[in-house]
Structure formats: C-alpha cells, structure tokens
Amino acid sequence: MTSPSLPPITTTCLYSETSIPYYPAMQKTARRSQAIVRPPGRPREFDMDTALDRAVRVFRERGYHATSIGDLTAAMRLATGSIYKAFRDKHAVFLAAFERYTALRQEQTRSAAARGATGRERIRHVLLSYVEHSQGSEGRRGCLVVGGAVELSALDPVVGARVNAQLKSNESFIAGLIREGQADGSIPRHVAADDTARLMICITQGLRVVGKARLPLDGMRLVGVAMKLLA
Amino acid sequence: MTSPSLPPITTTCLYSETSIPYYPAMQKTARRSQAIVRPPGRPREFDMDTALDRAVRVFRERGYHATSIGDLTAAMRLATGSIYKAFRDKHAVFLAAFERYTALRQEQTRSAAARGATGRERIRHVLLSYVEHSQGSEGRRGCLVVGGAVELSALDPVVGARVNAQLKSNESFIAGLIREGQADGSIPRHVAADDTARLMICITQGLRVVGKARLPLDGMRLVGVAMKLLA
DNA sequence: CATAATAGGGAATGGTCATTCCCTATACCT
DNA sequence: AGGTATAGGGAATGACCATTCCCTATTATG
C-alpha cells in the first residue's frame, strides 16, 4: 500500500487516503459520479501515505511534544513550508499520522484474526500479534494510541476523542470475536464478553507499555496464560 | 508522611527523603553515628516532600515535555531560582518526583495487599486497588511509571532504567504473592508464577492507559475476570 | 559583629521552536 | 501566452522556555 519511492502523479489524482481533511483548504474530491478529478494548481509531488508513515515513525519514537517541526522535515523529507502547505499545523500532522497508524494497525489485527478458524483461535492470534508488535525494536518504537492516551488525551480533547474511539473500536472487535467463539462452541457461554474484552484491551495496551520499557515478552507463554480468560 | 503545612525545621535536619541526591551539591548527611547535623548556610524553608507531591501532580497531568518550569514554579510554589537551587535541572525534578511517586504507590499497593488473608485474596486486593487508582479523576491524572515509559524511556536512559526497575519490582511482588498463594493453598500449583505475574503487570499498566483515556472501569467485574488467571 | 555558606526570588539571557512570508515552480484552462 | 491556483523550499519572525545571574535574607561560627 505504501511505496518506498515517490511516483509523481499516482497519488494526486486518486485520493486513496483514509478520511477527513489533511489540508488547510480541502477541496471536494468529486462533484458527481466521476471520482478522478485533479484539483487545480500544481499537484503535490510527494506521496502522502509515505510521508505520513515517516511522521508516524517519529511520533511513535519521540512522542508529540518532543517531536519538533525540524524532526518532521527531516523524517518526512519535506521543507518546513511544504509541511505547512499540506497541514494546518503540527497538531494536524499528528492527527493525520494517528489516522494512518490506526488504519494500518487495524488491518494487521484483522488479518491476524483471520488466521484462526474459531472465535477462540482468532482471539489467540490477535493477542499473539499484539505481543509480537509490543516486543523488540518494534515494541520500543511504541504505539500511537498508547502515546496519545498518555501524553495528549488529558490536554487535547480532539486526540482524546480519537484515542477513546480507537480503544472502543478495538474492544468491540474483541467482544465480537468472543461472541463468535460462543456461537461456534469454542468459548463457553458463561464468559462475560464485554468485561473480558475490556480486560483484554487492558492487556494489549499494557503490553505496549511493558514492551516500550524493554521487558522481554514471550508470546507463547503470555498468550497461553491470557487464554485462561476464555475458560 | 506529607504534612499540608510547612514546618520550618523538621525536614531540614532529618533527611527522611528516600534516596539519591536531589541537590546540585549534596552534602554528606552524617559523618559518623550522629545523624542529625544541620548543614551549613540558610536552611531550606519549604518541605521537600510537599513540593515533590505538587511536582508529581503536574508531571502526571501534563507529562514531562509539556510541563514547563513555569508550571512547576506555580505548582510547587517556588520561584525559578529556588527550584534551581534545589535541583540541578528539570530532569532532576522529574527524577525526584518519580522516586516520590513510586515510593507512595508502593506503600499503597503493599497496604492493599495486606487487606487479604491468603495469597489469592492479596492479589485480588492489589488488582482492585489498581483499578480504583486508574479510574475517574485519579485515573485521568495518570501514572508516572506509564508516562515515563511511554514518553521518556526511549529518549532518556536514566528514566528508562528507573521505569524498568519499577516494573520488575512490581512484577516480582506479584510473583511473590502468587507463590504465597500456592503455599497457603489458595492458588493451584500449576499456575506459572512468573508468566502470570508479567501478564498481571501488563493488566495494571494497561488499566492506567485505558483509565487515562476515560473508558469506565468496573473494579468488581474486571478483577472478577482477571482472577481466572489464578485458576 | 563579621564571615561563610546556602536559600529565596525574580530579572536577564540565549537558544529553540512553531508558524508565517515570500519567491519560485508547475499544473490546468482559455 | 497569460491567468489562476497550488506546491516546494527556505529565510524571517515572534513567542516561549530552560537556565543563569545577581541581589537579598537567614542560619551558624569564630
């Protein structure tokens, strides 16, 4: 989905980007049925998703406040002016990076779930995937949801709302898997789906904290223990 | 341990403070057996622990980077110069606040554990205590260990080491309680103490993240589910 | 009572950072 | 070709922030 090089036209005309306005003045993407209409003026040269992936990386490593515009220009390979052409301010860069990050993570989690045949097995794979992402160098890079919750949600209502929504979305995904497991017989009926899902969200978020703090995490062992919650 | 008012002499001569130098030029506390020797010069007027409690509050709410010296002077009720008299720099204030915070939290956790008669009950009370502290306005205030892990451990080896040590200490405390439970018969022998303890640390750290993000946490329900890990 | 030693407090300083400005470049349209 | 609209890039700007300086105050000692 993200290309390492910078194709000059591809991105400009398609608007494959996830959601809401990145841009100070966002044009309506398409008036009627034809979706591919190039907006007026000089087209953007850089690939937005590539640039955002690079911003994600910096924000994950340094957090919001410790990341300067200079850090972003270096990482995103854009000049100061270009960043401010593309985003209202640093806050908007973070928000766009956050969206990009959660979209990619959601994809990874769904595909991990898809590796299981029953509800129970799907949950096992989701948890395993979380442990893997919380471990080693990837884990030390950190998680934007956890980072946003800890560093920003008390100071910034917009980020707070996004973090809250993301956690709820993850939680209801897990709760859904639990109910699937109860339907297919792999998880006992007496398991409290919502409470267990909330606790599992705590586990996943805690894994990221512990992984960032460089405690080693053994996926098989930890998930093995955690699966008792579905007994 | 912390007095709301400011007794003028009490703190200066006793050095009840936890550990390592708060001060740019730390005097040796006592040469021989006599511990109470007032150091030369004008004695400090403010109570160090009270001031640190106020610093803890700001750092918990705003994190490290978003807290300015101005925020600290306002919260600690000290002038800029006085802060730099007492601490080398902002980093040193954070470290001292961190020590103070972990000492108090440790105390609270131990006393929660003491409310239980068996190993199993002690763990239940510890988890319940964590949920309570992660909830509501207290939870929104945040945790310095989680904050330190997320915001600083990758950038600041000193804080990183303290966070790591604190997590390990908490983990071995839990592991100890599990083994106590196995000794007193309240926890089955087949429970893997270390793995379960590590997972429980993930739960506690995750609770703080989720609580900071304003998801409601029901202590009884969550702990009820978590106790399955000891089955 | 002078001296040494440190605390209290606030003004001054130097650096950094987010943001803006401005000039150039590139696209489309008529 | 001229006009319009936006992107690229980097210098300029103004605010803020961590830290230092300096002057005063308070203790002990000789």
Does residue B106 form part of some domain?
A: yes
| Residue with the two structure tokens 């309240």 | B186
The tokens describing B193, both together, are 């103490």
**pLDDT tier at A23, thresholds 50, 70, 90:** low
Nearest to A10 by CA among A45, A41, A40: A45
B40 and B109 in a single domain? The answer is: no
Residue B177's domain comprises 98-230
CB of A205 within 8 A of CB of A146? yes
Does residue B60 form part of some domain?
A: yes
A188 and A226 in a single domain? The answer is: yes
Confidence at residue A21, expressed as pLDDT on a 0 to 100 scale: 47
Residue in B with minimal Cα distance to A195: B222
B63 and B174 in a single domain? The answer is: no
Residue A209 is nearest to which of B160, B209, B228, comparing CB atoms? B209
Residue B213 is nearest to which of A149, A204, A207, comparing CB atoms? A149
Confidence at residue A4, expressed as pLDDT on a 0 to 100 scale: 37
Residue A222 is nearest to which of B141, B153, B199, comparing CB atoms? B199
Which protein residue lies nearest to nucleotide D6, measured between its Cα and the C1' atom? A41
Instruction: Flag whether pLDDT at A7 surpasses 50.
Output: no
Question: Taking CB atoms and an 8 Å cutoff, what residues of chain A touch B213?
Answer: 149, 153, 160, 163-164, 167
What does the alpha-carbon distance between residue A145 and residue A41 come to, in Å, rounded to a whole number?
Answer: 35
Domain finish residue from A91, A115, A133? A91
Cβ-defined contact of A207 to B203 (cutoff 8 Å): no
CB of A135 within 8 A of CB of A121? no
Cβ-defined contact of B154 to A61 (cutoff 8 Å): yes
Cβ density class A125-150: b for 16+ within 10 Å, e for less: bbbbbbbbbbbeeebbbbbbbbbbbb
Estimate in Å the CA A107 to C1' D9 gap, whole number.
Answer: 35
CB of A113 within 8 A of CB of A177? yes
A44 and A156 in a single domain? The answer is: no
Q: Could you report the per-residue pLDDT of B62-89, keeping only the tens digit for each?
A: 999 999 999 999 999 999 999 999 999 9
What would the DSSP string read from start to end of B39-92? Answer: PSSSPP-S-HHHHHHHHHHHHHHHTTTT--HHHHHHHHT--HHHHHHHSSSHHH
CB of B214 within 8 A of CB of A160? yes
Nearest to B184 by CA among B140, B138, B118, B124: B118
Contacts of B217 (CB under 8 A, 6+ apart): A198, B131, B134, B135, B139, B207, B210, B211
Most B-contacting residue of A202, A204, A212, A220 (CB-CB within 10 A), to test interface: A202
Residues found in chain B? 231
DSSP B108: H
In chain A, count H helices and then E strands: 11, 0
User: What value does the mean pLDDT take over residues B22-45?
Assistant: 63
**pLDDT tier at B2, thresholds 50, 70, 90:** very low
Confidence at residue B217, expressed as pLDDT on a 0 to 100 scale: 98
Identify the sign of the CA torsion B30, B32, B37, B42. Answer: negative
Question: Taking CB atoms and an 8 Å cutoff, what residues of chain B touch A62?
Answer: 154-155
What does the alpha-carbon distance between residue B116 and residue B167 come to, in Å, rounded to a whole number?
Answer: 22
CB of A117 within 8 A of CB of A125? no
Return the amino acid letter for A154: A
Contacts of B190 (CB under 8 A, 6+ apart): none
B62 and B153 in a single domain? The answer is: no
Which protein residue lies nearest to nucleotide C16, measured between its Cα and the C1' atom? A68
Please tell me the number of Cα atoms within 13 Å of B16 on its side-chain side: 12
Q: Which nucleotide is nearest to B24 (CA to C1')?
A: C6
Does residue A212 form part of some domain?
A: yes
B70 and B139 in a single domain? The answer is: no
Estimate in Å the CA B36 to C1' D29 gap, whole number.
Answer: 18
What does the alpha-carbon distance between residue A44 and residue A11 come to, in Å, rounded to a whole number?
Answer: 8
Residue B135 — φ and ψ, nearest 5°?
Answer: -100, 160
Positions in chain C where some atom is under 7 Å from a protein CB: 4-12, 16-22, 25-28
Domain finish residue from B91, B114, B132? B91
Please tell me the number of Cα atoms within 13 Å of B205 on its side-chain side: 34
Alpha helices (H) in B114-150, listed in sequence order:
119-134, 136-141, 144-147
Number of domains, chain B: 2
Which protein residue lies nearest to nucleotide D8, measured between its Cα and the C1' atom? A82
Confidence at residue A37, expressed as pLDDT on a 0 to 100 scale: 83
Domain of residue B142, CATH code? 1.10.357.10
CB of A42 nearer than 7 A to strand C: yes
Q: Could you report the per-residue pLDDT of A128-148, keeping only the tens digit for each?
A: 999 999 999 999 999 999 999
What does the alpha-carbon distance between residue A194 and residue A179 come to, in Å, rounded to a whole number?
Answer: 10
A133 and A220 in a single domain? The answer is: yes
Instruction: Flag whether pLDDT at A75 surpasses 90.
Output: yes
CB of A38 nearer than 7 A to strand C: yes
What does the alpha-carbon distance between residue B76 and residue B72 come to, in Å, rounded to a whole number?
Answer: 6
What does the alpha-carbon distance between residue B56 and residue B75 come to, in Å, rounded to a whole number?
Answer: 10
Least confident of A57-71, B31-45, B50-64: B31-45
Does residue B78 form part of some domain?
A: yes
Domain of residue A50, CATH code? 1.10.10.60
Nearest to A143 by CA among A175, A114, A109: A109
Cβ-defined contact of B212 to A167 (cutoff 8 Å): no
